């Protein structure tokens, strides 16, 4: 229990991931949903870094860099969409974004 193994990191990661998922499922504010997604990505990163350290392989860290890059891109585009949407509909409530309804 006192020795910190990758298991611990994985569990931490899983927990954080689940928090993010729940955020995505539960919240209606799109911005907060996006933030939850960032949490999910972070959870993944924790896992990657921990295993990278464990396996003595830099690939994990490299991927973290890429994940961060993708996250940045996602945030930029996503927030752009939100702004554009907000400008038209005056809302960021995800329940009102439902034009794909049947």
Partner 1 sequence: MAEALLFYTLAALILGLGVMVVSARSAVHSVLFLVVNFLLVAVLYVTLNAEFVAVIQVLVYAGGIVVLYLFVVMLVNLKKAPERFSDPRRLARSGLLLGGVVLALIVVVVSSSLRAGMASEGTLSGFGTPFTSGNTEQLGWVLYTSYLIPFELASMLLLVAMIGAIVLAKRHLGD
Partner 2 sequence: MDLIWLIPLLPGLGAALNGLLGIRYFSKQTAGLVAVSTMAVAFVLSVIAFAGLLGLPEEERYHEVTVASWIPPIPLETANGIGSFEVPWAFVLDPLSGMMLLVVTGIGLLIHVYSVGYIDHEPRGGVARFFCYLNLFCFFMLILVLGSSFLVMFVGWEGVGLCSYLLIGYWYRKQSASDAGKKAFIVNRIGDWGFILGIFLVFFTFGTLDFRSVAEAAAGMPVEVGFGVLSLICLFLFIGATGKSAQIPLYVWLPDAMEGPTPVSALIHAATMVTAGVYMVCRNAVLFAHAPMVMEAVAWIGVLTAFMAATIGLVQTDIKRVLAYSTVSQLGYMFLATGVGAFAAGAFHLMTHAFFKALLFLGSGSVIHGMNEEQDMRRMGGLKPYMPTTFWTMAIGAVAIAGIPPLAGFFSKDEILYRTFLHSQVLWGIGALTAVMTAFYMFRLINMTFLGRYRGPEWGQPAGGEAAHGAGSHGDGGHDDGGHGHAWHGPHESPRTMTVPLMVLAVGAVFAGFIGVPAALGGSNVIEHFLEPSFTAFGAFHPAEEAHHLSHTAELGLMALSVLLAAGAILFAYRNYVRQPAAADEMARTFAGPHRVLTNKYYVDELYGATVVRGTMEGANGLWTVDQRVVDGAVNGTGWTTIFSSWVSHVLDKYVVDGLVNFVAWVCAEASYVFRRAQTGLIQNYAFATLLGVFAFVTWYLLAR
Chain residues in the site for partner 2 (CB under 8 A): 21, 24-26, 94-95, 97-102
Q: Is 20:35 a contact under the CB 8 Å cutoff?
A: no
**Residue 89 touching partner 1 (CB under 8 A):** no
Q: Is 74:38 a contact under the CB 8 Å cutoff?
A: no
Minimum gap (Å) between residue 30 Cβ and partner 2: 9
The residue among 57 and 96 lying less far from partner 2, judged by its C-beta, is: 96
CA 80/CA 74 separation, integer angstroms: 10
**Residue 97 touching partner 1 (CB under 8 A):** no
DSSP letter, residue 100? T
**Residue 65 touching partner 1 (CB under 8 A):** yes
């Amino acid at each position: 229990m006192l020795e910190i193994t990758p298991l611990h990191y994985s569990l931490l990661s899983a927990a954080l991931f689940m928090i993010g998922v729940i955020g995505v499922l539960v919240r209606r504010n799109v911005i907060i949903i996006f933030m939850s997604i960032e949490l999910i990505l972070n959870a993944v990163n924790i896992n990657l870094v921990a295993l990278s350290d464990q396996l003595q392989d830099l690939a994990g860290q490299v991927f973290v860099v890429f994940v961060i890059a993708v996250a940045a891109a996602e945030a930029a585009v996503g927030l752009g969409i939100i702004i554009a949407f907000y400008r038209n509909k005056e809302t960021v409530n995800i329940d009102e974004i439902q034009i794909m309804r049947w």
